Amino acid sequence: MVDSLGLPRFWATVWADVLKANMGSTARGHHLYAVERLYRATDQQFGAGALDRMLTALDMTSLETALTSYLASLRNDSSIRGVNNGQAWQSVRTFVADTISHLSASSAKDYSKVHSRLIRLDRLYSQVMPTKPKPTAAIRALPAIVVEDLYEIFSPTSPRNPFRTETLQWRNFLIFLLMLHLGLRRGEIAILPADAIKSDFDIETGGDRFWLNVDESPYENEDNRFNAPSLKTANSRRQLPLNEEIVSVYDIVLNNYRIGAPHSYLFSSQHDKPLSLRSIHHLFEVANEHLSPAAKKVLAARNKSGITAHDLRHTCAVYRLGRYVSLGDELDLAIEKLRIFFGWSPSSPMPRHYARAYFESNSADMWNETYDRLLTTLRSLSGKEKND
């Protein structure tokens, strides 16, 4: 978000840091990428800094011209590359409308002059999209054969594990388990503090119960990662129950492979820095390279060339909904449980999408949550002294 001289885009900076200060880092990146495209198009057509000058002067005529020209360029781009620029257009409309409203609010004269033009702008472009929206992407749980294959790839004791050191193998195994069994997003993985897992004595069972707190790290005042991760929404804050098997892997990572880390986050890079979102994405790029021919064949039949971190979240959600239903919950209750577990807002349509995915799944081909592989890994280490 800088011009050709390296100076910040003024109103884009105000919009992102003041008017939309509560935006999550991922949403912020998507919106500002679209706004920067508008800045560049306007610079090219009207001269450097033209968009900021138009906004400051509340020059509605010039803004309409700039937006019309930009819309035409989005349409051309959509036609040539076959992409959907609808979200980019919505981001630009929101940025311009928010900035104009902010500028005109301090003066009744300006507000009255601009308000009708703002309504005109909104009406003019509200129904105009660069391309028809694509249908919602199908949500599918990973087939059981693919999940089993991933277990073999990520298990620290597996000969198929492609990661070089024990530290990386155990770190990546824990990331895999948290994503598959709890449906954590990449950003949630990256901000987990080292003490994210809590425990307490359960009177009813006579043993300890464990849970994971998903929240912003309470220990870091500033995150120096280039693309600093954060929770997606306020609803993402939640507590998730854990079983002892995953806690055992967590203990192994914490007590043997994280000693001396100079930060509070659970997961570190090879250079002892907080793990980046890109590094988490890279784990699954490596896993894709080592999928078995059988797993690749099953994925290809579903028009997938590989797996992503988010596929594990899909798999967890579809499985968990099926589990709620199998335990006797009515579908509406199961959907609400799913909403809480995955941190979706009350208005989010995502639980319904997963409900459809569950009923479209072939139950015989669905992954069943089992810790057989995990227990085998842990038992193989029984009695083995760790000195790392």
Per-residue pLDDT tens listing for the chain (388 residues): 787 778 889 999 998 888 888 877 778 888 899 899 999 999 998 988 999 998 898 888 888 888 888 888 887 877 777 677 778 888 888 888 888 888 877 665 555 666 666 666 666 555 545 555 555 556 678 888 999 999 999 999 999 999 999 999 999 999 999 999 999 999 999 999 999 999 998 888 888 899 999 998 787 676 778 777 888 888 889 999 998 889 999 999 999 998 888 899 999 999 899 999 999 999 999 999 999 999 999 999 888 889 999 999 989 988 888 888 888 888 888 889 999 999 988 888 888 888 777 777 665 566 777 776 677 777 776 555 444 4
Instruction: Convert 193-212 to b/e letters by CB count within 10 Å (16 or more is b).
Output: bbebbeeeeeeeeeeebbbb
| Per-residue model confidence (pLDDT) at position 387 | 44
Residues 6+ apart with CB under 8 A from 348: 235, 339
Distance CA(72)–CA(130), nearest Å, equals 8
| Per-residue model confidence (pLDDT) at position 198 | 93
DSSP H or E segment with residue 210 = strand 207-214
Alpha helices in 223-330 (DSSP H): 244-256, 277-289, 293-301, 309-326
- Cα 194 to Cα 2, 46, 86, 240, 263: the distances in Å are 36, 52, 40, 16, 9
Which of 280, 277, 263, 273 has its CA nearest to residue 174?
A: 280
Domains and CATH numbers, the chain: 10-126 (no CATH), 144-379 (1.10.443.10)
Q: What is the 3-state secondary structure (H, E, C) of 165-192?
A: CHHHHHHHHHHHHHHHHHCCCHHHHHCC
Distance CA(105)–CA(333), nearest Å, equals 45
Query: How many other CB atoms are there within 10 angstroms of residue 113's CB atom?
Result: 13
CA-based end-to-end distance of the chain:
44
Backbone angle region of 137, left / alpha / beta, with phi > 0 → left and psi within -120 to 50 → alpha: beta
| Per-residue model confidence (pLDDT) at position 386 | 45
For the record, the structure tokens of 226 come out as 């280039």
- Cα 74 to Cα 34, 131, 329: the distances in Å are 10, 9, 47
For the record, the structure tokens of 113 come out as 């002059």
pTM of structure: 0.67
Distance CA(149)–CA(367), nearest Å, equals 11
For the record, the structure tokens of 95 come out as 């940025």
HSE value, Cβ hemisphere, 13 Å, CA-based, for 170: 21
HSE value, Cβ hemisphere, 13 Å, CA-based, for 284: 19
Structural contact between residues 184 and 176, judged by C-beta atoms closer than 8 angstroms: no
- Which DSSP category does 127 fall into? T
Question: Helix or strand or coil: residue 43?
Answer: helix
Which of 360, 377, 239, 365 has its CA nearest to residue 299?
A: 365
